[in-house]
Structure 1
Amino acid sequence: MTDIAALLERLETLEIRAAHQDQTIDDLNEALAGHWRHIEALERRLGKLQDELREVEAALEDKQPDAPPPHY
């Protein structure tokens, strides 16, 4: 094998590896973006639940305790 043929083979191998790495990076980027969308949706739901909990706690604090039963 001549030097040029060996260099061409090495170049082709490097180009193939680079193409596979680019595809892997794109796949990982897509997966990461999906995870971030999911995390943001969960954070919104958590915020709503926290707001609801505050409302329930406020309602319970505003409620006057019942008078004790007459037998006390």
Structure 2
Amino acid sequence: MSSFEPSSNDISERIDRLEMRLTFQDDTIETLNQTITAQWREIDALKRQIALLVERLADAQDQAEGPRNERPPHY
């Protein structure tokens, strides 16, 4: 074997390191996926809450007493 050819032990160590990196990356991707999924659930819930609040505000404005969209008396 020449000095430039890796030994089987070197190759085994490289494969072990690559497998560890792959395992770490798989775990990181799964964690990120779970985080993103949780964030989308929260965003959807907040969108529904905002839509409900907009609807309630519109109902409250419709039921409010007094003139609407009229100029104040000082004009």
The whole-number CA distance in structure 1 between the counterparts of 2:20 and 2:66 is 74
Match of 1:39 in 2: 43
Say which of 3, 10, 34 aligns to 2:7: 3
Structure 1 consecutive aligned stretches of length 4 or more whose deviation exceeds 6 Å: none
1:32, distance to aligned residue in structure 2 (A):
0.9
Pick aligned residue for 1:14 from 11, 18, 41: 18
Q: TM-score, normalised by structure 2?
A: 0.75
Gaps of 5+ in 1: 66-72
Identity %: 32
Tell me which protein shows more helix as a share of its residues: 1
TM-score between both structures, scaled by the size of structure 1: 0.78
**Aligned residue pairs, count:** 62
5+ residue gaps, structure 2: 1-5, 68-75
Give the root-mean-square deviation of aligned CA atoms: 1.4
